[in-house]
Amino acid sequence: VNKKQDYFNEQDVDVLTVLAAQAAIAVENSRLYQQADLINELVHELRTPLASILTIAYLLKRSDLTNDQRQQFAESIAEEVTRLNDLASSYLEYSRLEAGRLTFSATAFDLRNLLTESCRTLRPKAEEAGISIQMFSADQPLFLTADENKIKQVVVNLLNNAIKYNQTGGRVLVNAWKNGDSVSFSIQDNGVGIPEADLPHVFEKFYRAHNIQEAYPGTGLGLSICNRIIEIHGGTITVQSQVNAGSTFTVELPVNVKK
Ligand code: ADP
């Protein structure tokens, strides 16, 4: 018995095949549009550092420069190239996440260990900037099954921001706790904060709040990468903030990753 013929005749099957192919093309097209959007934004972001490098190159051609000025221009070029480099690697990471091409490998681990390790890694950098990092957490282990490296990437990113958007004498507090079937952590700073109007947008790609744009280097991709990683794990990432008072980022993750 030909099962196919019980339900469809040959012509119907052809129509279904065509419809399925059209649906696949539509999905592919929308993916291509999204990718084109992302590339447009990237090109736009590349323009600023490239324009700075060009300006500095012209200035360097002047013959009346002191050694100090030359040194400063060279440093500025190095800074702008670092920014280009950061943009390129963040962009690659982001587009891989968007395309769903990053492989996730879930293992069981204690969130407290991951947080302690991340704090230890970033403490020298924080201390150099005159900022302290303290951690508080539950006494019992906070086990979860998730991609440890990816969660660490989120923690390091949030800690780096808490240090960067802060000032000498500032402090960063890390908290971790369990709530039913999920574990959470928060990273709180008493730094520059985020204006209310910018707050709903900080997880969007390339978005940078108005109070920091000139003074602090960055790509505006870090939080969108964090958001995507947490989303893929079935968790949530939220922020509370007040200008000149500080920001708190809170991440909640299911104990068992829902893929
Ligand atoms: P980047 O730091 O490279 O600009 P992110 O995606 O990590 O990009 O952050 C997006 C924006 O959110 C930042 O540009 C900044 O305006 C704001 N932001 C993130 N973390 C903090 C923080 N801890 N304190 C103040 N502003 C922050």
Question: Are 108 and 137 a contacting pair, CB within 8 Å?
Answer: no
The pLDDT score that the predictor gives to residue 255 is: 94
How many angstroms separate the Cα of 107 from the Cα of each of 64, 170, 253, 255?
Answer: 61, 35, 14, 11
The pLDDT score that the predictor gives to residue 10 is: 64
What SS3 class is residue 144? strand
- The residue behind tokens 């939220």 is 238
* φ, ψ dihedrals at 74, nearest 5°: -60, -40
Regions of the chain short of the pLDDT cut 50: 1-5
Q: How far is the CA of 127 from the centre of ligand 1 (A)?
A: 20
The amino acid that residue 227 corresponds to is N
* φ, ψ dihedrals at 205, nearest 5°: -65, 140
* Pocket residue to mutate for ligand 1, from 165, 188, 201, most atoms within 8 A of Cβ: 165
Atom of ligand 1 nearest to the CA of 157: 7
Q: How far is the CA of 13 from the centre of ligand 1 (A)?
A: 52
pTM over 0.90: no
CA distance 91 to 137: 34
Q: How far is the CA of 145 from the centre of ligand 1 (A)?
A: 28
* Pocket residue to mutate for ligand 1, from 194, 205, 230, 248, most atoms within 8 A of Cβ: 194
148-197 residue pLDDT tens: 999 999 999 999 999 999 999 999 999 999 999 999 999 999 999 999 99
Q: How far is the CA of 21 from the centre of ligand 1 (A)?
A: 42
The pLDDT score that the predictor gives to residue 202 is: 96
Q: How far is the CA of 15 from the centre of ligand 1 (A)?
A: 50
Question: What sign for the dihedral angle of Cα 108, 113, 117, 118?
Answer: positive
> Cβ(186) to ligand 1 under 6 A?
no
CA distance 259 to 256: 9
- The residue behind tokens 């323009």 is 47
CA distance 104 to 26: 27
How many angstroms separate the Cα of 28 from the Cα of each of 25, 33, 35, 171, 191?
Answer: 5, 9, 10, 47, 43
* Pocket residue to mutate for ligand 1, from 223, 226, 237, 238, most atoms within 8 A of Cβ: 223
Atom of ligand 1 nearest to the CA of 162: 23
C-alpha gyration radius of the chain: 24
